[in-house]
């Protein structure tokens, strides 16, 4: 068994790196979810997002009209 580990050590390193990256991604995603959950529960919804979307759509229409 030890001989197998010595011969194929790089496989174990690759697996360890992939697992560490997955764990890091899970921790960051969980932290982001908790912050989002607190924002929803506190009732602090972002009211500017709809107006920003309409502004972006308006700018896209102006750019399309200038191209014609």
Beta carbons within 8 Å of 45's beta carbon, 6+ residues apart: 39
- Maximum Cα interatomic distance, the chain, rounded to a whole number of Å: 71
User: Any idea of the CA torsion for 18, 23, 24, 29, to the nearest 10 degrees?
Assistant: 130
pLDDT per position as a tens digit, 7-65: 999 999 999 999 999 999 999 888 888 888 888 888 765 555 555 555 666 666 666 67
- Is pTM beyond 0.85? Reply is no
pLDDT the model gives residue 50: 55
């Amino acid at each position: 068994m030890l001989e197998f580990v010595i011969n194929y050590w790089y496989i174990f390193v690759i697996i360890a790196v992939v697992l560490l990256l997955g764990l890091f991604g899970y921790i960051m995603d969980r932290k982001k979810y908790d912050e989002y959950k607190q924002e929803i529960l506190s009732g602090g919804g972002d009211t500017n997002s709809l107006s920003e979307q309409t502004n972006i759509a308006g700018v896209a229409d102006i750019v399309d009209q200038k191209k014609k």
